[in-house]
Amino acid sequence: MRNSLPLLTLALASLLAAGPSWAHGGAATAQADKHGISADQEAFGRQGDPKKVSRTIDISMHDNMRYNQSKITVRQGETLRIVLLNKGKIMHELVLGTEQKLKEHAEVMKKFPNMEHDSPYMAHVPPSKQQEIIWEFNKPGEFMFGCLIPGHFEAGMVGRITVLPAKP
């Protein structure tokens, strides 16, 4: 037992020295249902159920710091599959959010450019790769999407999402 105390001390010191792990989307782990779908509600909607997708939108990302689509209109309650294809030679991403949150997050990304991506409203897409986001837009309003890799958002790699009220 006496020999294990230095080993335990070393292990604890290593954990403390590692520091916090920065991740997109906040510090808390999202609550998920039995199908792995997060129950977290955001101002711009929530993670969608793949079985309830009403349509698919293809968005390509380019090294000229643009998406091929910069305006999307959906109805409140609609669940989209957003298929992202990086057609560039550098990393790009798409993060859904409010304008204020995206601007704040872009500033944080400047300080921590290697943040992990673990929230259902974002996708980090390597060159020539494809990823998807499935999102339920359950609140009407004007929202945004953008690439928050340092310099990309500021260069204009942004888009707008208009969520119209549900039909009566």
Tell me what the pLDDT averaged over the chain comes to. Answer: 84
Residue 77: per-residue pLDDT:
97
Has residue 5 got a pLDDT over 50?
no
Residue 6: per-residue pLDDT:
44
Q: 5: part of which helix (H) or strand (E)?
A: helix 4-18
Q: Which residue has the higher pLDDT, 39 or 75?
A: 75
Has residue 158 got a pLDDT over 70?
yes
Contact 103, 154 (CB under 8 A): no
Has residue 22 got a pLDDT over 80?
no
pTM, 2 dp: 0.79
Nearest to 126 by CA among 70, 87, 69, 162: 87
